[in-house]
Amino acid sequence: MRLLSGSWFSDVPWLHVYVGFSLTIEAFEQYLSLRQWRRYNSSSKPPALLNPRMSQESYASVTAYNTDKIKLSMVSSLVESGLSVLSTLFFFGPFCWRLAGHWAGDGEFVRPLAFMGIQRLVSECISTPFQVYSDFCVEEKHGFNKKTAALFIKDKLLGLGLTAAIGAPILCAVNWLIKWGGENFHFWLWGFSVLTTFGMIVIYPNFIAPLFNKFKVLEDRELRSKIDALAEQLNFPLCEVYEMDGSKRSSHSNAYFYGFWRWKRIVIFDTLLHLPHDQILAILGHELGHWQMNHFMQRLLLVFMNLFVTFYLYGKVMNNDHLYKCFGYGADAKSPIIGLMLLANVLAPVNTVLSVFSTLLSRKHEFQADAFACRLHYGEQLKEALCTVHTENKSTLDPDPWYSWWHYSHPPLLERLAAIDSILLRDGKKERSKGGENNSSRLEELDGEDSRARGSSQNSERATRRAKLAAEDE
pLDDT tens-digit profile, the chain (474 residues): 555 555 778 889 999 999 999 999 999 999 999 999 999 988 878 888 887 788 888 899 999 999 999 999 999 999 999 999 999 999 999 999 999 999 998 888 999 999 999 999 999 999 999 999 999 999 999 999 999 999 999 999 999 999 999 999 999 999 999 999 988 999 999 999 999 999 999 999 999 999 999 999 999 999 999 999 999 999 999 999 999 999 988 888 899 999 887 789 999 999 999 999 999 999 999 999 999 999 999 999 999 999 999 999 999 999 899 999 999 999 888 899 999 999 999 999 999 999 999 999 999 999 999 999 999 999 999 999 999 999 999 999 889 999 999 999 999 999 999 999 999 999 876 665 555 555 555 545 545 554 444 444 444 444 444 444 344 443
Inter-residue contact 35 to 400 (CB < 8 Å): yes
Inter-residue contact 379 to 8 (CB < 8 Å): no
Return the domain boundaries, the chain: 436-473
Q: Which residues, at least 6 apart from 298, have a Cβ–Cβ distance to it below 8 Å?
A: 361, 365
For the chain, what is the largest distance between any 2 Cα atoms, rounded to a whole number of angstroms?
Answer: 111
Three-class SS of residue 216? strand
Which pLDDT score is estimated for 428?
75
Please state, in angstroms and rounded to a whole number, the distance separating the CA atoms of residues 127 and 404. Answer: 24
Which is nearest to 424 in space by CA: 384, 371, 472? 371
Does 274 count as an annotated binding residue? no
Inter-residue contact 46 to 59 (CB < 8 Å): yes
> Which is the catalytic residue, given 29, 135, 243, 287?
287
Which pLDDT score is estimated for 160?
96
Please state, in angstroms and rounded to a whole number, the distance separating the CA atoms of residues 428 and 416. Answer: 18
Three-class SS of residue 235? coil
Please state, in angstroms and rounded to a whole number, the distance separating the CA atoms of residues 381 and 421. Answer: 12
Which pLDDT score is estimated for 51?
78
Report pTM: 0.86
Angstrom distances, CA of residue 373 to CA of 254, 280, 293, 366, 434: 16, 11, 12, 11, 22
- If one counts every other C-beta atom within 10 angstroms of the C-beta of residue 415, the result is 19
Inter-residue contact 338 to 97 (CB < 8 Å): yes
Which pLDDT score is estimated for 455?
46
Please state, in angstroms and rounded to a whole number, the distance separating the CA atoms of residues 394 and 398. Answer: 12
Kind of pairing, strands 255-258 and 264-269? antiparallel
Q: How many residues in the chain?
A: 474
In the residue annotation, 370 being an active-site residue is answered as yes
Query: What pairs with residue 244 in β-bridges?
Result: 215, 269
Inter-residue contact 144 to 61 (CB < 8 Å): no
SS3 content of the chain, % helix, strand, coil (to 5): 75, 5, 20
Does 286 count as an annotated binding residue? yes
Long-range CB contact pairs, 87-90, < 8 A, 24+: 88/15, 88/18, 88/19, 88/22, 88/327, 89/15, 89/19
Three-class SS of residue 256? strand
Please state, in angstroms and rounded to a whole number, the distance separating the CA atoms of residues 55 and 72. Answer: 26
Please state, in angstroms and rounded to a whole number, the distance separating the CA atoms of residues 319 and 31. Answer: 39
Which is nearest to 239 in space by CA: 247, 227, 249? 227
Which pLDDT score is estimated for 69?
97
In the residue annotation, 287 being an active-site residue is answered as yes
Please state, in angstroms and rounded to a whole number, the distance separating the CA atoms of residues 58 and 45. Answer: 10
Does 295 count as an annotated binding residue? no
Which pLDDT score is estimated for 458?
46
Please state, in angstroms and rounded to a whole number, the distance separating the CA atoms of residues 426 and 422. Answer: 6
Inter-residue contact 310 to 286 (CB < 8 Å): no
Inter-residue contact 213 to 244 (CB < 8 Å): yes
Which is nearest to 414 in space by CA: 55, 49, 65, 64? 49
Which pLDDT score is estimated for 392?
92
> Which is the catalytic residue, given 370, 392, 400, 415?
370
